[in-house]
Amino acid sequence: MKRVHVLNGPNLGRLEWRDSAQYGDLTLAEIESLVRARAETVGIELTWFQSDHEGALIEAIHAAIDAGASIVINPGALTHYSYALADALAMAESTVVEVHLSNIHAREDWRRTSVVAPAVTGSVAGFGPIGYVLAIEAIAQIAAGSAPGDQGPDHSA
């Protein structure tokens, strides 16, 4: 069974208090349930983690790497300035997917830059909670060898 660690950054544990126009109406626990249900159907074992602390997220990335797991990460605001997170993700040899509930490219100028993007296999943004599901499905297809085309730089399932 393919292992995937889903990592969530700052403020994502408090989605119910954030702008629902940007982040939707589901809590992170509800998103986790949705993603776990889909992961089960495609044969993926999930580890789910959320922290408001950069160092804890880096340690979670290291744990995923040590476990040989693929990574789905929503770095939250760390997306825009955490070179330490980018460096940790760059060490991964498995598939890494960056996910954002909102479309960061259609928001404020400062949100349009992702310093982690060069370290990931691919990104999904703007589809709300379904973005996590799309990331899981992409990893499942890559792991099965059924995804067409290039799988991104230096990452394989």
Q: Is 132 a catalytic residue?
A: no
CA–CA dist 142, 157 (Å, integer): 6
Q: Encoding tokens for residue 131?
A: 């973005």
Residue of 5, 53, 81, 100 with catalytic role = 100
How far apart (Å, rounded) are the C-alpha atoms in residues 27 and 14?
7
Residue pair 74/8 in contact (Cβ under 8 Å)? The answer is yes
Is 100 designated active site? Answer: yes
**Helix ranges (DSSP H) in the chain:** 20-23, 28-41, 54-67, 83-90, 130-144
Q: Which of 23, 80, 105, 155 is catalytic?
A: 23
Place of tokens 């990452």: 155
Catalytically annotated residues: 23, 100
